Amino acid sequence: MEGEAAGPVPAYTVQRTKENEAPLAGIQGLPMHALLPAIANLDPPAGRTDFDAAAFVGGPRLVIAMRAVQAKAAGTSWLDFAVAQSSALAAFPNELYAIIPLLGGPMNARAYPKDRFGGRYDAIVDPAGGTITIVLRVALSVQPDRSFDPGDPAHNDPASWRNRAPALLAQYKAQMAGEVQSVLSGKGSITAACPKGRHTTFKTAMRLEVVDDANAAHRVVVLHSRDAEGRGGATHSEDPSVPINLKEGTLGKKKHTVTKSNPKGTAPVTQDVESSTTAHEVGHAMQDATGYSPLVTRTRIAETAGYIHKIAALLIIASPAIAAIVVAVNPSRRNRSRAAPMMASRV
């Protein structure tokens, strides 16, 4: 996002000590706008990073407040923090009024957990900035094949899958997030069906994080040898419990030209686009398995306060120009939201 300092949310080492429990217990019941400065001024200072003690005396609310204070000290941007802590923040929607502004973000930002989207991803909504960010965490693994068998003659072959796999895994860890984000972010804009607030059109963004813990991931990505059986590129499923399967050679963006109708559907338009097999399959995996036809919006509704009441999950068009879109619906139209027309993606 423009104007925001990039950088990862810092990792924390926690070690619970009895000495830190009493000071934390004394402040854990404060309202969030008072709790945050109380944590920043906590004495002894070691208590500010004792997340085990915080979980023991105050639970996840105190923990997320402490993480916000530490992120502030580290200079982490509000969006980086929201992306990394999206699930935790979504559990405390009434506390974001203080947490997000502490990091320089808008008071009315909202975080939505994967439960709202069939387990496929989280979402961050910035009504003030007019942006909706989809958050997807993936864990990478490698599929063994026959060349992993020590008894196989190919086992010691430098060109074998056994010897190629570690380098491929490292390549995906280093490049997958940037490639998927560049292909799926900013390719569409959403016009609210019933505008309310300063922004009537929302920009779309995509944030993908590669994590080591499969339990913390929305999806597991399994890398396969180019000689493995199955599709030449990749296979996917909308079911979040099913891994995304990618073969060697699916990483890397390609540029080409497509022709499509203009927004009014009255004339053809030629457009240069970037595509990526990896991004394409990730996009498919984020679709809903039900709803409209495969090339149009797959919808999942979640609540957003103030400016928008409902956002639909993500539109992934299964073409080289993959786009992510979300639809906003006015709170006053709650009972008629199912009949509200889906707005078209402007790619």
DSSP of 303-320? E--TT-SEEEEE---SSS
Between CA 117 and CA 111 the distance in angstroms is: 12
Burial 200-213 (b: 16+ CB within 10 A, else e): eebbbbbbbbbeee
**What proportion of the chain, given as a percentage, has pLDDT over 90?**
39
Per-residue pLDDT band for 72 (boundaries 50, 70, 90) equals: very high
Residue 294 pLDDT greater than 50, yes or no: no
Model pLDDT, residue 150: 61
Work out the average pLDDT over 224-244: 72
Which two three-digit tokens encode residue 22? 């009493």
Per-residue pLDDT band for 16 (boundaries 50, 70, 90) equals: low
Which two three-digit tokens encode residue 157? 């072959």
Work out the average pLDDT over 245-264: 81
19-53, pLDDT tens digit by residue?
899 999 999 999 999 999 999 999 889 999 999 99
Model pLDDT, residue 226: 79
Work out the average pLDDT over 212-224: 92
Per-residue pLDDT band for 323 (boundaries 50, 70, 90) equals: very low
Model pLDDT, residue 152: 60
Q: How many other β-carbons are positioned within 10 Å of the β-carbon of residue 182?
A: 15
Residue 266 pLDDT greater than 70, yes or no: yes
C-beta of residue 316 within 8 angstroms of C-beta of residue 286? yes
C-beta of residue 137 within 8 angstroms of C-beta of residue 86? no
Least confident range from 136-140, 246-250, 323-327: namely 323-327
Residue 84 pLDDT greater than 70, yes or no: yes
Residue 76 pLDDT greater than 80, yes or no: yes
Higher pLDDT, 87 or 150: 87
106-138, pLDDT tens digit by residue?
998 999 999 988 888 999 989 888 898 999 999
Q: Cα–chain-centroid distance for residue 297? A: 18
Domain regions of the chain by residue span? 1-107, 108-339
Higher pLDDT, 265 or 38: 38
Per-residue pLDDT band for 158 (boundaries 50, 70, 90) equals: low
